[in-house]
Structure 1
Amino acid sequence: MVIKKKKSIREQVYDYLKDEIVNGRIKEGSRIVEEEFAEKLNISRTPLREALRMLELEGLVEAREKGGVTVPKTTKKDVEEVVKIRIALETVIFEELFQKVTEDNIKELEENIAKADAIVYDEARCLEVFRYFSEFNKILYAISDLPRVIHLINNLNLYLKKFRKISAENNERRLSAHADHMKIVELIKNGKKHEAIEINKKHLLEAKDFLIKQVES
Structure 2
Amino acid sequence: MNLSKVKPISLKQQAFESIKNAIIEQSILPGEILYERQLSEMLGISRTPVRESIPLLELEGWVKSVPRKGTFVCNISEKDVEEVIQIRRAIESLVVELLIPAISDKEIEHIEEIYGIQAQLIQDKNKFINTDKDFHIYLAQLSGNVRLSNLMQTISDQLRWFGVRALGAPDRNEHTLKEHAALIDAIKMRDIEEAKKAVITHINRTREAILKNLQL
Q: Which residue of 2 aligns with 1:8?
A: 10
Q: Which residue of 1 aligns with 2:90?
A: 88
Aligned with 1:30 (options 26, 29, 32): 32
Per residue, is there more helix in 1 or in 2? 1
Q: Which residue of 2 aligns with 1:50?
A: 52
TM-score (norm 2): 0.79
- Contact 1:126 1:169 (C-alpha < 8 Å) held by counterparts: no
> What SS does the corresponding residue of 1:159 show, helix, strand or coil?
helix
One-letter code of the match for 2:202? H
Whole-Å separation in 2 of the counterparts to 1:166 and 1:19? 14
- Contact 1:127 1:169 (C-alpha < 8 Å) held by counterparts: no
Post-superposition shift, 1:89? 1.4
Q: Structure 1 residues 72, 192: CA separation in 2 closer, same or farther (over 3 Å shift)?
A: same
Kindly tell me the number of residue pairs found equivalent between the two proteins.
Answer: 209
Q: Structure 1 residues 209, 169: CA separation in 2 closer, same or farther (over 3 Å shift)?
A: closer
Post-superposition shift, 1:101? 0.8
Q: Structure 1 residues 77, 135: CA separation in 2 closer, same or farther (over 3 Å shift)?
A: same
Q: Which residue of 2 aligns with 1:157?
A: 156
CA deviations on 1:122-180 (whole Å, 9 max, x unpaired) are: x7577766565444324312312334433332342323434545645755423332222
Whole-Å separation in 2 of the counterparts to 1:127 and 1:148? 27
- Contact 2:24 2:157 (C-alpha < 8 Å) held by counterparts: yes
Whole-Å separation in 2 of the counterparts to 1:174 and 1:16? 25
Structure 1 gaps, min length 5: none
Identity %: 24
One-letter code of the match for 1:179? K
TM-score (norm 1): 0.79
Whole-Å separation in 2 of the counterparts to 1:128 and 1:69? 28
Cα RMSD (Å): 3.0
Q: Which residue of 1 aligns with 2:76?
A: 74
Whole-Å separation in 1 of the counterparts to 2:45 and 2:138? 40
